[in-house]
Structure 1
Amino acid sequence: MIKNLHQKVIISVLVCTLVLAFLAIYADLEKLVLSLKNFKWIFLIPVLTLSLLNYIFRFFRWEFYLRKLGIKISTTKSFLIFISGLTMSITPGKFGETLKSYLLKITDNVQISRSSPIVFVERLTDFIALVILALYGSFYFNYGKEIIAGVGFIIIGGIFIISKKGNFYLVFERIRKIIGDKFATKINTAYNSTVELIDLRVLIPSVLISTASWFFECLGFYIVIRSYSIDLSLNLATFIYSFSTLAGAISMLPGGLGFTEGSMSGLLIFNKIPKNTAVAITIIIRFATLWFAVALGLIALYIFQKKIVNFKK
């Protein structure tokens, strides 16, 4: 998995370059460059700090899940594994963050089938958090509420179906003979871990953590907008960021590339922000969130390989 990582990063960088090229043509390259120059770059410090707070809160959630599943590793190792997983923010729906399960396997021999449901439930709570953040704005501004509410109902319905053990084992026993005991055992382990993590006593606090963590990035987006002296409310900025991020995640494109940028720029333009400024804001916030996360992940993964894996050898 680690050996193929550089290929995934290169592909995502190429896709990002194409997206940027399209945005630059759309916004008029000369005007876009001028807008980027006009950005007060001192504001990048609080924006990156808020992105870091997002990752720290999500790390708390990761630790919470590990403890619930009885997986005990040192906080330092856990933190390195979690941050390394940010490298896979550029994968469809971020599900490539199962890299974390792979790292747990090679260092502590934790079954991938046991820990990988954490990544699934992380994405689930991220979706719920983004729906919560976007839903208020969608009703307030009367835009996109049907789409957001529909996504919310699908998620809730999915949780309800998954939590019904009787239905699962009814199907499970029928396919056990087809797939064999070895694979059946792994599926059963993964299912039991998932059910533990979507229990309401675990789900509710983790959704609260997720909502707070994603609001930090919404706040960072608001700061970037305000740096251009644009009078846009925090409510509207939160809606635009969460809705665009949700659209990118639903698209299942690597890192939501294309859909997130298009939605974000489009909504800013819809709110009477010049297209060159709207595209500049989009580029800056994506650098400060998505690509900042990937960069931190690569650094953490390098440290992990040098310090943890080599030490284990």
Structure 2
Amino acid sequence: MGELGAGALYGPERFSHFGLQPTVTTQLLGRRLVVALGLGLAVFAGLSVYADINAMRQAVLRFPWELFIPILGLTFFNYLLRFGKWSFYLRCLGIRGLPLADSFLVFFGGLAMVITPGKVGEWLKSYLLERYTGVPFARTAPIVVAERLTDGLALLLLAAGGLARFGIGVPVAVGVVLLAAAVVGLSLNRRAGDLAAALVERLPVVGRYAGWVREFHGGAAVLFQPANLAVATVIGLVSWSGECLAFYLVLRGLGAADGVDLAVTGAFILSVASLGSSLMLSPGGLGIAEGGITGLTQLLVGLPPAEAAVAALLIRLGTLWFGVSVGTAALALLMARDRDYLKGSSSSSNSSSSAKESSEYTPTSRPW
């Protein structure tokens, strides 16, 4: 799998990743949260008009709120297993020397960025990894791609029962399969990586990022090896089962008929809505996920519009917004420990030169 030898680099770091230097500040994070909250309020307003806010209020009052504790627990179970997948990917790339507590904060800090379109803000994790290990951004950036792809495959498996039964969401399923096949195929094809790097190298302005492309493709080739892909997908299958069970509890609390059928249907609804919103690249799936959950819950579970809308809002509160809260807390801890970095202080650039003298990262050979 190729060792990066990052253990010796823990501590002072260089920050280059081929010249890509995004600025991470508290102001930037604050703006993202404000925009997301605004979109969330717009979604709430839209559902209130559709389902009647008074009927929704009555549904909320009837909901047994003691169920919300296990709902949050199941969501956190999902996060913990996804952290396990994150740790597995770090081992696949041979990244050593990052203390467990720091790895935990880096991963959970990424949850604050799920409110970006297509969750691309989660590349903050690769940015932080370079900060703490010295491993180039481009080498670990494929982890985010692999996380999203294996999550998608896991959700597709969870939706399989509903796909066979209802025949709804087939275009979404086909889209996920085709996208996954293309990403994995290109990642494992050495000629594709060489061709992409050669094309970038010939282009003006971006030609200097050819090395970035080679590094990215090399990391992706490791992560998408069949064995690694299978392990990560199984982890995703178990972890996302937690959120599907959480949605089952929401539906049960809103008066849906209990039973195995409800659990299967709930897993299908949540999985298809999550996949659809991911493919549409809306920030955090806002609007698309809630609309999909509301419509499918009415159609397949038989809940009235108000209860279906409340079901969508409750599961999103217990998953998306809970994750954003946990991620923001993790980033706050990182800010408190490393204010110079997160506030863009020049002290990090001053330390980078001394770090470069003391330790250099050497890209590994290709994994093929």
TM-score by length of 2: 0.81
Pick closer, same or farther for the CA change 1:305–1:176 going to 2, 3 Å: same
Whole-angstrom distance in 2 between the partners of 1:138 and 1:33: 32
Does residue 169 (structure 1) correspond to residue 169 (structure 2)? The answer is no
Whole-angstrom distance in 2 between the partners of 1:211 and 1:305: 33
Whole-angstrom distance in 1 between the partners of 2:130 and 2:289: 33
Q: 1:96 aligns with which of 108, 111, 121?
A: 121
The question of whether the paired residues in 2 share the 8 Å contact of 1:58 and 1:209 is answered with: yes
Partner of 1:19: 43
Whole-angstrom distance in 2 between the partners of 1:175 and 1:260: 36
Does residue 239 (structure 1) correspond to residue 265 (structure 2)? The answer is no
1:141-169 Cα shifts (integer Å, max 9, x gaps): 22222431342133223311331112331
1:64-85 Cα shifts (integer Å, max 9, x gaps): 1111112120100000110100
Q: CA RMSD in A?
A: 1.8
Does residue 248 (structure 1) correspond to residue 273 (structure 2)? The answer is no
Whole-angstrom distance in 2 between the partners of 1:64 and 1:134: 25
Partner of 1:218: 244
Whole-angstrom distance in 2 between the partners of 1:111 and 1:304: 20
Partner of 2:212: 186
How far apart are residue 181 of structure 1 and its match? Answer: 6.5
Partner of 1:278: 308
Partner of 2:318: 288
Query: Counterpart of 2:283 in 1: which secondary structure?
Result: coil
TM-score by length of 1: 0.95
Query: Counterpart of 2:203 in 1: which secondary structure?
Result: helix
Pick closer, same or farther for the CA change 1:42–1:165 going to 2, 3 Å: same
The question of whether the paired residues in 2 share the 8 Å contact of 1:43 and 1:223 is answered with: yes
Q: 2:149 aligns with which of 124, 148, 153?
A: 124
Partner of 2:225: 199
1:2-39 Cα shifts (integer Å, max 9, x gaps): 32111111111101111110101111111111111111
Query: Counterpart of 1:90 in 2: which secondary structure?
Result: coil
Whole-angstrom distance in 1 between the partners of 2:255 and 2:111: 32
The question of whether the paired residues in 2 share the 8 Å contact of 1:93 and 1:123 is answered with: no
The question of whether the paired residues in 1 share the 8 Å contact of 2:159 and 2:267 is answered with: yes
Partner of 1:140: 165
How far apart are residue 309 of structure 1 and its match? Answer: 5.5
1:179-198 Cα shifts (integer Å, max 9, x gaps): 57741111111110011001
Identity %: 33
1:178-218 Cα shifts (integer Å, max 9, x gaps): 35774111111111001100111111000100111111100
Which one-letter code corresponds to 1:303 in the other structure?
L
Whole-angstrom distance in 2 between the partners of 1:308 and 1:62: 22
How far apart are residue 137 of structure 1 and its match? Answer: 1.3
Which one-letter code corresponds to 1:93 in the other structure?
G
Whole-angstrom distance in 2 between the partners of 1:293 and 1:309: 23
1:254-303 Cα shifts (integer Å, max 9, x gaps): 00111100000000111321000111111111000000000000111111
1:106-161 Cα shifts (integer Å, max 9, x gaps): 23332111111111111111111112212331112222224313421332233113
The question of whether the paired residues in 2 share the 8 Å contact of 1:47 and 1:223 is answered with: yes
Whole-angstrom distance in 2 between the partners of 1:172 and 1:113: 13
Whole-angstrom distance in 1 between the partners of 2:130 and 2:340: 15
1:219-244 Cα shifts (integer Å, max 9, x gaps): 00001111123115211110001001
The question of whether the paired residues in 2 share the 8 Å contact of 1:248 and 1:259 is answered with: yes
Which one-letter code corresponds to 2:252 in the other structure?
R
> Quick check: 151-160 or 23-32, which moved more?
151-160
The question of whether the paired residues in 1 share the 8 Å contact of 2:200 and 2:209 is answered with: no
The question of whether the paired residues in 1 share the 8 Å contact of 2:197 and 2:211 is answered with: no
Structure 2: 5+ residue stretches without partners: 1-22, 342-346, 349-368
Q: Which has the larger radius of gyration?
A: 2
